[in-house]
Structure 1
Amino acid sequence: MSEEISARVAAALAEKPTSALEDIAKRANVRVIDVVRNLPEGEAHCVDGEHFVDVMQSMRDWGDITFIVNTGTVIFEAKGQIPDGSLGHGYYNLHGKPIGGHLKADACELIAFVSRTFMNSETHSVQFYAKDGTCMFKVYLGRDEDRNILPGQVDAFKTLRDSIAG
């Protein structure tokens, strides 16, 4: 990671520290994965993408989450439980509704356990990044009708993060 990228990310973070990661990346003229790798101490714990299946399977027991895909022109959100999945034909196939689909597991280079403030709220998410540095998708902890994180999810998030990220 170049010092120049680190400096640009630091400057963009200093300007608006609770901005969306995509907005920080745009201001710094870097990839979102570069922002994640340069977040302040404790905000992101990164692990190799080889843990993809283990992480996906561990999140099945968390209850309702928010699954987000952000293409830059579309932010798609689905709320529900991570369903069972299995590897087949080069994909990790999610067998459920409302969250279902086919995820290219071996395209994942980095998994980031991100904990930071966004829009004046504590957030925790598991973010999956492809080998080209783009974000594949994000899984945010679920919230109740009062916008509180669902009970037990922060503990489940931290337990998974600590067991994999050490």
Structure 2
Amino acid sequence: MPDVTPDLEARIRARLAEEPGAVLDHVARDLGVTPAAVIRCLPVEEARVVDGAYFEEIMLACAEWGEVTMIVHTDDVILEAKGCVPRGKKAHGYYNLHGAPIGGHFKYDACAMIAFVSRKLFTSDTRSIQFFNRQGGCMFKIYLGRDEKRNLREDQVAHFEALRDRLADAA
């Protein structure tokens, strides 16, 4: 992933301090950096990063958590699919999910970094797992689900935190 100069890192951190609920992809676009560079500038209580080699382990764990929201965010589209992550498997160079509404084929060996993100988005608390390629672009995100009162599901938060802590501590 491309390196960020100390001056640019200071600008990213200043922007995040000014707009604590900002969409990270927009911060990256506005400052001309990758989304991964922005993630790396978040305080440790907001983002813990692990190696992309944990891709399959994380995806299999998420398959046990119930309904989540998977997001693919490009410059032109924010695509959301709400549902359960199906158990996937590797074949033909892809990690394959055969399910609906969440399904697809992921080039798992392109994943260089995975971030466990705990922060406000606009005014709502969120927890997400974000997958980044070698160029620092975000491949996709998995956001934890919410209950009928729009609160994060406590069971998913517990699973998220346990997985994050176990993998980040192993690094």
| TM-score relative to the length of structure 1 | 0.96
| Match in the other structure for 2:159 | 156
- 1:20 is matched with 23
Q: CA offsets, 1:19-59, max 9 Å, x none?
A: 01012112322111100001023111001100100000011
Deviation at 1:14, TM superposition (A): 2.3
Q: Which runs of 5+ in 2 are unaligned?
A: none
Give unmatched runs, 5+ long, in structure 1: none
Alignment of structure 1 residues 1-166 onto 2, 5 Å: 1-166=4-169
Does structure 2 retain, via aligned residues, the 8 Å contact 1:33–1:134?
yes
Q: How many angstroms apart in 2 are the aligned matches of 1:162 and 1:149?
A: 19
Q: Is the 8 A contact 1:125 1:141 kept in 2?
A: yes
Q: Which moved more, 1:14-23 or 1:53-62?
A: 14-23
Q: Deviations over 1:101-143 (max 9, x none)?
A: 0000000000000000112111000000001111000000011
Q: Indicate the SS of the match to 1:114.
A: strand
Count residues with an aligned counterpart.
166
* 3-state SS of paired residue (1:62): coil
CA distance in 2, matches of 1:154, 1:143: 10
2-side partners of 1:6 and 1:63: how far apart?
37
Structure-2-length-normalised TM-score: 0.93
- Dislocated runs of 4+, deviation >6 Å: none
Q: CA deviation at 1:13?
A: 1.0
What amino acid does structure 2 have at the position aligned with 1:53? Answer: E
Q: How far, CA to CA, are the matches of 1:132 and 1:26 in structure 2?
A: 14
Bigger mean CA offset, 42-51 vs 140-149: 140-149
Secondary structure of residue in 1 paired with 2:64: helix
Contact persistence 1:12–1:27 (CA under 8 A):
no
Q: Percent identity over the alignment? A: 50
Distance in 2 of aligned mates of 1:20 and 1:145: 24
